[in-house]
Amino acid sequence: MVVVNTTRISQTGSGDAAGATGAAVMLAGLRKHYGQVRAVDGVDLAIAPGEVVALLGPNGAGKSTTVDMLLGLTKPDAGTVTVFGSSPRDAVAAGSIGAMLQGGALLDDATVGETVAMVASLHRAPLPVTEALRRAGIEDLAARRCNKLSGGQKQRVRFAVALVSDPDLLVLDEPTAAMDVASRRDFWRSMHSYTESGRTVLFATHYLEEAENYADRVVLMRAGHIVADGSVAEVTSLVAGRMIRAAVPGATDRAIRMLPAVSEVEVRGDLVSISATDSDATLRALLATFPQARDIEVTAVGLEGAFLSLTADGPAAISEGAVR
């Protein structure tokens, strides 16, 4: 069962229905196993044209394998992938997909302008190289060799390479890795102008605030399965309770987990984040056990809390009929 908004395509259709439904992306029954490891184990996902979708999950959840099959880099063991009604290979050849992969290699001795121009030459109707550089915010780097770039600048070059085919679907794998705070802000500002034209974006990220701030829809994966799918509000509504954050000198993970009504814990030095199903009971016990606790903040569970709860080991915390 799928809960959808007015712009979402039902996931109950098959891959062959992509052309009929108008889906930008349709994954149906997608599976990929490596020996005994079920990297992707029955994924069904439809993305409508114009949606900005964040693909989230812990390491090993199956995100990268799913993206690789979407791009035609890996062949699924079972299931189908269609992009605007075509196979991934045909969609890539037509320039319908642009991909920004974190591990995408750049030629050290080529300049930024030469790199983007080389990729542009492979497409039938690319953007002008200067326009791709402008949209990526790297016009000033056109003459610089790629081996002279910082990590964040290399990510910008990969973004320009992804944009130069003028794709209808942009797939981004950890797009702001190695970028500083200002560069990340500028990157998403560039993305806004791109998505305003009605283009479709699927991005995988470990920065949950990026998903919260920029995605229309969040898809959470765990152990090869989709465990939640909906808007940020829909996904966070699946998790009851509140989040307690405090500075707790001397706190340990074990001690905090012994408190009542605690579901998830993160301890970083003296800073403690607790997901609690009964925040009043947890807070009273926290203060009794650690009277030196200070700077206490109690908030509704956000995307981070939902992520921790829904992707934790153990049975999925979603019943049939929930957002999925």
Rg, the chain, Cα only = 22
What would the pLDDT profile of 24-49 be if each residue is shown by its tens digit? 999 999 999 999 999 999 999 999 99
**pLDDT exceeds cutoff 90 at 67:** yes
Instruction: Flag whether 3 is in a domain.
Output: no
User: Of 208, 236, 264, which closes a domain?
Assistant: 236
Q: Which domain holds residue 223?
A: 15-96+167-236
User: Of 236, 253, 269, which closes a domain?
Assistant: 236
**pLDDT exceeds cutoff 50 at 13:** no
On whether the CB atoms of residues 108 and 114 are closer than 8 A, the answer is no
**pLDDT exceeds cutoff 70 at 314:** no
Instruction: Give the CATH number of the domain where residue 224 resides.
Output: 3.40.50.300
Question: Do both 191 and 293 map to the same domain?
Answer: no
Instruction: Flag whether 158 is in a domain.
Output: no
On whether the CB atoms of residues 286 and 246 are closer than 8 A, the answer is yes
The per-residue pLDDT of the chain, averaged, comes to 86
Instruction: Flag whether 124 is in a domain.
Output: no
What would the pLDDT profile of 147-199 be if each residue is shown by its tens digit? 999 988 999 999 999 999 999 999 998 888 888 888 888 888 888 878 888 89
Residue 313: its pLDDT value, please? 65
Residue 190: its pLDDT value, please? 83
**pLDDT exceeds cutoff 60 at 133:** yes
Lowest mean pLDDT among 3-17, 49-63, 139-153: 3-17
On whether the CB atoms of residues 293 and 287 are closer than 8 A, the answer is yes
Query: Which pTM does this prediction carry?
Result: 0.75
Question: Do both 22 and 76 map to the same domain?
Answer: yes
User: Of 236, 270, 294, which closes a domain?
Assistant: 236
Question: Do both 228 and 260 map to the same domain?
Answer: no
**pLDDT exceeds cutoff 90 at 207:** no
Residue 21: its pLDDT value, please? 58
Number of domains in the chain: 2
Question: Do both 267 and 188 map to the same domain?
Answer: no
In three-state form (DSSP H/G/I as H, E/B as E, the rest C), the secondary structure along 239-295 is: CCCEEEEEECCCCCHHHHHCCCCEEEEEEECCEEEEEECCHHHHHHHHHHHCCCCEE
Nearest to 101 by CA among 147, 154, 26, 58: 154
